[in-house]
Amino acid sequence: MQPEHEQLARISAGDAAAFAAWASSAEAPLRRSLRPFAALCDTEAVLQEALLRVWQVAPRFVHDGRPNALLRFAVTAARNVAFSELRKVTPTATEVEALHRALDAQGEVTLSAPDPLLRAAIARCRDKLPAQPARALAGRLEGVGEDRALASSVGMSLNTFLQNVTRARRFLADCLARAGVDLDLELSP
């Protein structure tokens, strides 16, 4: 991982590759920071919007001298987007109270470093996938388009495609478990 200041300078200058590297490391901790909002707003949409705001603000961003400054800013941006979304669903007082308790309990955020062993284990399990789930998963991996188009690109109906993506993920989780890897544990802070 690049030194933070150098990476920030490149992102500020409009280097999309530097932003991509940072976003790949920031995605998991950012998503975890949004877990308390999971039942109240679409955290995937919130996360993408927050990352886009980071890119927009980066040229004017001033580092505060503490580690992970851009990530901490991204967490704040994501929470702001999420709270803005909450205004549309009018959560109950109990839900809001529970949300604030959960947010207050969150610890420091840090970027997630790539784990080559986990990467290799997942790749080994992917290679063992049955044909249909393998094709569906490949469709999801290769495209960010709408699911109907992805399904069509791999020659499946939408529902068959969705069922096969689910099957692929379950197969990966089971395969990883047999290899002694608990994906949920790997994803926890």
Partner 1 sequence: MSPDEALLVERVVSAHRERGADGAVRSHPAWHDLGAEGRRAAYEETARQRAAERALDPNAQSSTVKAVLARLSR
Distance of CA 99 to the CA centre of its chain: 20
Candidate list 19, 75, 134, 135; residue touching partner 1; CB under 8 A = 19
Q: Does 52 bind partner 1 (CB under 8 A)?
A: yes
Instruction: Return the sign of the alpha-carbon dihedral for residues 177, 180, 183, 184.
Output: positive
Residue 186 in the binding site for partner 1 (CB under 8 A):
yes
Position 28 contacts partner 1 (CB under 8 A) = yes
Among 1, 5, 6, 56, which residue interacts with partner 1 (rule: CB under 8 A)? 56
Structure tokens at 43: 């955290």
> Site size for partner 1, by CB under 8 A?
56
Residue 70 as a binder of partner 1 (CB under 8 A): the answer is no
Query: Distance from CA of residue 70 to its chain's centroid?
Result: 16
Amino acid at 129: L
Say if residue 28 is exposed, middle or buried (CB neighbours under 10 Å; 0-12, 13-18, 19+). middle
| CB environment 52-66: b (16+ within 10 A), e (fewer) | ebbeeebeeeeeeee
User: Is residue 33 close enough to count as binding partner 1 by CB under 8 A?
Assistant: no
- Which residues make up the interface to partner 1 (CB under 8 A)? 14, 16, 19-20, 23-24, 27-28, 31-32, 34-35, 38-49, 51-52, 55-56, 59, 85, 114, 118-119, 122-123, 126, 137, 140-141, 143-147, 159, 162-163, 165-166, 169, 172-173, 183-184, 186-187
